Amino acid sequence: MDIGKIIDDSFTYAKEGLVGKWETWILLIISCIIFPLFMGYMMRIYRGENPSPAVDNWGNLFIDGIKLLVVGLIYAIPVLILGVVLIGSTGLALFLSIKLPHVDPAAIIGLLAAILFGAIILVIVIVIIGLILATAGVRFARTGSFGEAFNFSAIFNHIGRIGWVMYITALLMMVIIVGLIKIICLSVPFIGILLLLIVAPFTGIFSARYLTLLYDTAVPE
């Protein structure tokens, strides 16, 4: 797998789908605001449509987007539970300890250490779930089956056929590229949020195409 080619192809795919097609770009900005619509559009890209699909059949887009959103929310459940258990409860204990008439410095330090440890565990879990979800989303789009979105043995097998090191490296590159674009937009005074919204269709299409190509690099069984 050549990550450079995936980046170049994804960039070209997004550019050809948007640049000069301002009506499409505006419609996708609207779909970004009505988020399930854009997730439905990503589903079309995940299915391998090339060139980038038209923005039509809004009802189907919305339904597909809701389905993909449900998959993402289910994957987010462990993060929410851990966040409440590991950080929320410890943070509450810290708050109550500070309110006591006699504050115990050792207890405060212990609670702060517990919050830090919980945050590290939470980040690790988020990364693991993100690695799985990157393939699960494409798998769900291709199969149309909720069960396949949570078929962990098949998902891990697919990632293994891509190569775990290459897979993680490729996802890290995508996160860095998209993250830099967002940071640049937000760094512009006064209109940063507006720029981020305008660029959102491009970064979204780029990411969806990137994940699609990454998924398709798996060695056939």
Q: What is the pLDDT of residues 137-176, one digit of tens each?
A: 999 999 999 999 999 999 999 999 999 999 999 999 999 9
**pLDDT for residue 101 is more than 70:** no
CA 23 from chain center: how many Å? 26
Cβ-count burial of 151 within 10 angstroms (0-12 exposed, 13-18 middle, 19+ buried)? middle
Q: Give every CB contact of residue 112 below 8 A, 6+ residues apart in sequence.
A: 94
Q: What is the pLDDT of residues 190-217, one digit of tens each?
A: 999 999 999 999 999 999 999 999 999 9
Q: Where are the domains of the chain?
A: 3-215
Among 50, 47, 57, 64, smallest CA distance to 14 is for 50
What pTM was estimated for this model as a whole?
0.91
Q: What is the pLDDT of residues 7-20, one digit of tens each?
A: 999 999 999 999 98
Kindly report which listed range (38-42, 63-67, 100-104, 135-139) carries the lowest average pLDDT score: 100-104
Say how many C-beta atoms besides its own lie within 10 A of residue 9's C-beta: 17
How far lies 124's CA from each of 28, 71, 128, 159, in Å?
A: 33, 20, 6, 18
